[in-house]
Amino acid sequence: MQGSKYPSILGNNGFLMIVIDLEMSGLDPVKNSILSIGAVEFSNPKNQFYMECRMRDGAEADPEALEVNGFTKKQITDKSKPSLEEVLKKFCAWMDEVDDRTIGGHNVQFDIRFLKHSFYIYEMDYKIGSRCIDTYALTYVSYLKRKVKPPMKDNRADITSNVVFKYCGLTHEPNPHNALTGAKMMAESMSRLLYGKNMLAEFRDMPIPRYLKISKRLP
């Protein structure tokens, strides 16, 4: 990224995607609310974003969702926490500093739908594209290139985020889920899938599988 304060660890081969992960109070963008946003600039991974917010007014909380992300009812209704609108504005300001705001992640259309609906609620005219880079597709293609059948369920590839992490030599995502941890694990997985390289220091001791290592230098 031109003018970035962080040097790109991927050199000239890096591209400027934003890898995101959100934690929500449920699965429905209309009924439920974003509770936290985590993001990593892919080619400058020290540039990270993380904020939590209280549940937006009128939204509902699904106990199963809270069990996954570890938030309590008290935490998500805490008036001392910033509002979702405040967090969205700060997140958009952070994204504005990245030249290419293509979004990446796992099942990331789900996160994008929540962001778009939240922008709509607060009448924020912020353009976030629907095209994205998904670790599901990257991992599926990697299986195909190796002529290995991916995990299947109901006659479809069953590539969950934890399948991606295992395939890339990482551990399962810790419970409860944290949006920044999820974004960092996705960014690390993408680095390994695309370049056969370690990205973040906290994953350096987790060996990259041999089938992901690239023997030739990329042009």
Residue 172 lies in a domain: yes
- pLDDT tens string, the chain, 219 residues long: the values are 333 343 344 443 445 799 999 999 999 999 999 999 999 999 999 999 999 999 999 999 999 999 999 999 999 999 999 999 999 999 999 999 998 899 999 999 999 999 999 999 999 999 898 899 999 999 999 999 999 999 999 999 999 999 999 999 999 999 999 999 999 999 999 999 999 999 999 999 999 999 998 755 444
Residue 46 lies in a domain: yes
Residue 170 lies in a domain: yes
Q: What is the pLDDT of residue 15?
A: 56
Residue 1 lies in a domain: no
Taking the CA atoms of 99, 208, 163 and 70 in sequence, report the sign of the dihedral they define: negative
Task: State the virtual CA torsion across 181, 93, 126, 100 in degrees, nearest 10.
Answer: -70
Residue 77 lies in a domain: yes
Q: What is the pLDDT of residue 129?
A: 84
- Looking at the structure of the chain, the number of domains it has is 1
Cα angle 189, 185, 200; round to 5: 85
The enclosing domain of 103 has a CATH number of 3.30.420.10
Structure tokens at 97: 């500093």
Residue 117's domain spans which residues? 11-212
Q: Single out the residue of 12, 11, 35 nearest to residue 23, CA to CA.
A: 35
Residue 69 lies in a domain: yes
Structure tokens at 219: 């042009």
Residue 6 lies in a domain: no
Residue 3 lies in a domain: no
